[in-house]
Each structure stands twice: as C-alpha cells, then as structure tokens.
C-alpha cells in the first residue's frame, strides 16, 4: 500500500477562543465567544450580551494558552508536529472592529507565537476567523448581514497578511464556513443576535443567515485576492464542516433526501469557494425557501476571482437520514441524525465512523481535484488524571482507526497533504462549553467550574502520536484491548 507522502503535515489544531483565555489582556476587546456561558451535553450554552457575572464564561480563561504558548509549542515539538493550526482572535487585533489603528500588542503576540513555531520548524496553518469576531460587530453593525462587515474583515486580513507574510503560507479564511447554514451558528459565525434559543428558525431568520453567509464568502474571496497581491506564495483553503450523510434505508426517497441535503449543507460553500459561483441547486434551495440574496454582478466576479487553492475540512462522524420515522437519534458536530445501527457512539453520542472518512476523502477529491487536508478530527472524551498520568486507549483507538482509513484513501489516489488533530491540547468544547470533553494529547488541569492549576500532563496518546509522526504514519501500534 502507498504510504503517506514525504513531508506530510502531521500536527494538531486549536482555536483562539477555546484555548487562549486572557480575554481582556494585551488590549484585546470582547469577542462573541467571551459572552457564551458554560453548558453541558444536556444544558445548552447561552449568549449573555449583558455579560451577567452570575454566569461562568469558559472562553475568558480557557486553558491560558496566551501565557503558556511557549510551553505548549515545546510540547507540540516534542510530539514531532510538522504543522500547527491556530486561529487569530480578531478582537486582539481590532478590539472594536473599526479602530483606526490595529492593536500592536495583539499583533506582537501572534508574531511571537509564529517565531516560536519557526524555531521548531513547525508549519503554521492560520484560521483567520474561528467562531470569532469583536462583539462590537454584533452591537454596532448587527453582524455579517451588513455588507460593511466585509470591509472590516478585509482590513483585518490585510493587516495580518502584511505583518505575517514571511511566516505563513497556509490560510483558512473561515472555520467551518458552512455551519452558518444552521440557526445554531447565528451568533458565533454570523454575528446575529437573537433572543430565540438555538438561533432564529423563522423564514426571515433563514434569509438573514443566508445573506450573512453570502457576505462571508464574498469576504473570503476578497481576502484571497488581497492576500495574493501581498504574497503570491500564499495558499488559501476552504474549511468545511463535513457531516457525512447516509440514507438510513435504500428507499429511493431516502437516497434523494440525502443527495439534496448533502449538496446544500456540505457542498454549497465549497462549490462557491472552489468553483467560484453558486451551483444550480443553491438557487433552487433559495427560491424554495424564500431567500433573496443580495449579490451584485461585481460581487459575482469577486467570487470567481477569489477561489481557494485547497480543500480542508473537519470530520468527526457521520449521520443517517430518512424519510421514515426512526426513534433512535444521535448527536454530532453541529447536527445529529438518525442512529446508524453499524456504528458505536462516543460519550457525547457522536457516531464513530472511520470508514466514512475514507469515503469522504474520495468524495471531495473527486468533486474538486485540489489538494486536501483534514484540519479537524478527534475524540471528545472525559479523561482521568491519576498520579500525573492519563491512560486514554479510547482516544488512541479512535485516531488510529481514522488514520488507517486516511492511508487507504491515499492509496486510492487522494492527494492528501496533512492532518491536524483537533484540540491537540485540552481546550473548551464549543458545543457544550465544557472542559470535561477533552480531545488533547496533553491534559490540562482545569475543570468546568474554572478550578485547576493549568498544569500540563502528557497523556498516553501523546507518546503514541509521537511514534505515528516519527514513522510518517507507518507505526500505528496494536488496536488497544
Ligand atoms: C468543530 C469546531 O465544530 O468541532 C471546533 O471547529 C470544535 O471549534 C470541534 O471544538 C469539536 O466540537 P466540540 O463541540 O466537541 O468542541
């Protein structure tokens, strides 16, 4: 079997709002994530724009990566990372979004981080916006439906492109851009505040959200164009939350349902960002749902000119869908589905489907024929720290099985150039706000009430991943018993 290519980008991924903390230090402004309360699997997080101190806001302190990034990067280097995906907090650079000058302390923070990566020869992959925007965008501009926000974003991009042009090649303009198809992402990705729990599900809400998403994609295309002027060597990628979907039965109605949902939810954004225009099914979807898109001829041109270079995506699980009634449901990243009887579930009820990753890699490569990188994948599980050790065979088993399938996809012919495991150091869960739901190779002593020393501990998976990287994916070890 063909192995992983030489120079394969093995590494890990984080996001500023889930790991940095220090939410008001270094001149940073309040960001949308800072107003999200803690929650759990059973109790949803809430947005508290009044910042009522009666609640706990986990992103404000997170795992204190802001003060400990040198220690953390040294640990990543010890694991042998060749790549590290992190995001830039927009509110550290432009605290109020429309400030006259960028915040030098914020710019210096990421420059120091990039220098530290360079010291170890770790390739940075920078997410420009990951559930992140200054709260001022929500309060003063009412979020991404407002076209003025496109200019603010492009200015933010130009500032960081200029400053970091000698350090960074790979940029991801927006994390999981297609999450904005769903009401749940109204605030964190669309900057749209709604009193309604879980976002605005009304037809007007959908119209607003689709216009926000349209502006996000125009902003991405403009950023790509600007970036290429600043450094023609820059490479830009989509970042799609790929919810792989299967029909629960082989009824033609189920097949059609999945085909239509998959196109709209998984393919529409990457079609725009890689092919440069809205596909036919998107117009049909807008028409049928009363969406009227504000997209000028000039903006259509921008979408064509600012297409990305590579396809990146997150993959955690698959779901089933059906036109028939099935009572058993499962949860998942941004959306759940009908239970698949062939798959086991994580502690948070996300189906575990390694073969689905091979299927997905082949699907997206066949569709776009551009290089592919998996920018998120991993297992959220609660770990036990005992005598400074964490035994996490369940995490090793999950990752091992996914990497095996990646290898098969490479053998199938997919041009896969990297893998950054999600939450390589424990961080705040985005869906539940918990610390208890851990993804890391590195354990952080911090709990759901904000207690803990922030001390870092290497889990068993740390040593396992070190071997995987050193052998370029050849030594995956035995399936743990
Ligand atoms: C992705 C996000 O949706 O899934 C990450 O890009 C997130 O920010 C990850 O953390 C895992 O989800 P969760 O809810 O377990 O944190």
DSSP assignments along 404-429, one per residue? HHHHHHHHHT--EEEEEEETSB----
Residue to probe by mutation, ligand 1, list 58, 313, 333, 336, most atoms within 8 Å of CB = 333
Burial grade of 282 (CB within 10 A; 0-12, 13-18, 19 or more): buried
- CA dist., res. 261 & res. 293, Å (int): 20
Predicted pLDDT of residue 481: 58
DSSP state of 342: T
Q: Is 241 in the pocket of ligand 1 (CB under 6 A)?
A: yes
pLDDT tens for 446-474 read 999 999 999 999 999 999 999 999 999 99
User: Ligand 1 centroid to 2 CA: how many Å?
Assistant: 31
Residue nearest to atom 15 of ligand 1 (CA): 429
- CA dist., res. 194 & res. 183, Å (int): 10
Q: Is 414 in the pocket of ligand 1 (CB under 6 A)?
A: no
Q: Is 59 in the pocket of ligand 1 (CB under 6 A)?
A: no
Catalytic residues: 176, 376
Long-range contacts made by residues 147-150, C-beta under 8 angstroms, separation at least 24?
147/215, 147/294, 149/97, 149/191, 149/215, 149/219, 150/215, 150/218, 150/219, 150/222
439 CA closest ligand 1 atom index: 15
Put simply, whether the predicted model's pTM sits higher than 0.75 gets the answer yes
Tokens representing 42 are 């059973």
CB-based contact 122:78 (threshold 8 Å): no
- CA dist., res. 69 & res. 72, Å (int): 5
Question: How wide is the angle at C-alpha 150 spanned by C-alphas 58 and 188, nearest 5°?
Answer: 20
Q: Where are the alpha helices (DSSP H) in 165-309?
A: 186-190, 203-230, 252-261, 268-275, 280-288, 297-305
pLDDT tens for 158-208 read 999 999 999 999 999 999 999 999 999 999 999 999 888 888 999 999 999
Q: Is 431 in the pocket of ligand 1 (CB under 6 A)?
A: yes
- CA dist., res. 11 & res. 122, Å (int): 9
CB-based contact 17:34 (threshold 8 Å): yes
- CA dist., res. 47 & res. 34, Å (int): 9
User: Ligand 1 centroid to 315 CA: how many Å?
Assistant: 10
Predicted pLDDT of residue 197: 80
Q: Is 429 in the pocket of ligand 1 (CB under 6 A)?
A: yes
Hey, how many other C-beta atoms are within 10 angstroms of the C-beta on 207? 18
176 CA closest ligand 1 atom index: 6
Q: Is 377 in the pocket of ligand 1 (CB under 6 A)?
A: no
- pLDDT under 50: residue ranges of the chain: none
Across the chain, mean pLDDT equals: 97
Predicted pLDDT of residue 479: 72
Tokens representing 27 are 């001149």
Burial grade of 371 (CB within 10 A; 0-12, 13-18, 19 or more): middle
Predicted pLDDT of residue 188: 96
């Amino acid at each position: 079997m063909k192995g992983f290519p030489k120079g394969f980008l093995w590494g890990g991924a984080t996001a500023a709002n889930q790991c940095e903390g220090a939410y008001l230090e270094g001149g940073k402004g309040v960001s949308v994530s800072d107003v999200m309360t803690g929650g759990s699997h059973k109790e949803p997080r809430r947005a508290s724009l009044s910042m009522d101190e009666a609640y706990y806001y986990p992103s404000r302190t997170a795992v204190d990566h802001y003060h400990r990034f040198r220690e953390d990067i040294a640990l990543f280097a010890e694991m042998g990372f060749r790549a590290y995906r992190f995001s830039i907090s927009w509110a550290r650079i432009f605290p109020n979004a429309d400030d006259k000058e960028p915040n030098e302390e914020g710019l210096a923070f990421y420059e120091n981080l990039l220098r530290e990566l360079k010291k170890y020869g770790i390739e940075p992959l920078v997410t420009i916006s990951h559930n992140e925007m200054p709260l001022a965008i929500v309060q003063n501009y009412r979020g991404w439906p407002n076209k003025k926000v496109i200019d603010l974003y492009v200015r933010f991009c130009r500032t960081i492109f200029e400053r970091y042009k000698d350090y960074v090649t790979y940029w991801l303009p927006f994390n999981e851009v297609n999450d904005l198809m769903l009401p749940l992402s109204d605030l964190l990705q669309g900057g749209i505040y709604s009193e309604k729990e879980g976002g605005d599900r009304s037809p007007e809400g959908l119209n607003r959200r689709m216009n926000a998403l349209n502006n996000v994609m125009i902003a991405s295309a403009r950023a790509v164009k600007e970036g290429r002027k600043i450094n023609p060597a820059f490479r830009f990628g989509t970042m799609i939350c790929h919810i792989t979907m299967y029909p629960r039965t082989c009824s033609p109605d189920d097949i059609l349902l999945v085909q239509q949902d998959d196109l709209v939810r998984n393919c529409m954004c990457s079609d725009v960002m890689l092919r440069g225009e809205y596909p036919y099914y998107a117009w049909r979807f807008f028409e049928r749902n009363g969406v009227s898109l504000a997209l000028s001829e000039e903006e259509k041109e921008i979408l064509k000119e600012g297409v990305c270079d590579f396809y990146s995506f997150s993959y955690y699980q698959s779901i089933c869908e059906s036109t028939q009634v099935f009572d058993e449901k499962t949860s998942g990243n941004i959306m759940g589905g009908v239970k698949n009887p062939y798959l086991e579930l994580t502690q948070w009820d996300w189906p575990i489907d390694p073969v689905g990753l091979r299927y997905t890699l082949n699907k997206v490569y066949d569709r776009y024929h551009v290089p592919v990188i998996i920018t998120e994948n991993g297992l959220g599980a609660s770990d036990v720290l005992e005598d400074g050790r964490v035994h996490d065979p369940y995490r090793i088993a999950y990752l091992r099985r996914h990497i095996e399938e990646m290898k098969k996809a490479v053998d199938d012919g997919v041009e896969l150039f990297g893998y950054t495991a999600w939450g390589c150091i424990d961080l705040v869960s985005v869906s539940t706000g918990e610390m208890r739901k851990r993804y890391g190779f590195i354990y952080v002593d911090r709990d759901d009430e904000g207690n803990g020393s922030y001390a870092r501990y290497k889990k068993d998976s740390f040593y396992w991943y070190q071997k995987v990287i050193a052998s370029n994916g050849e030594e995956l070890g035995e399936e743990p018993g």
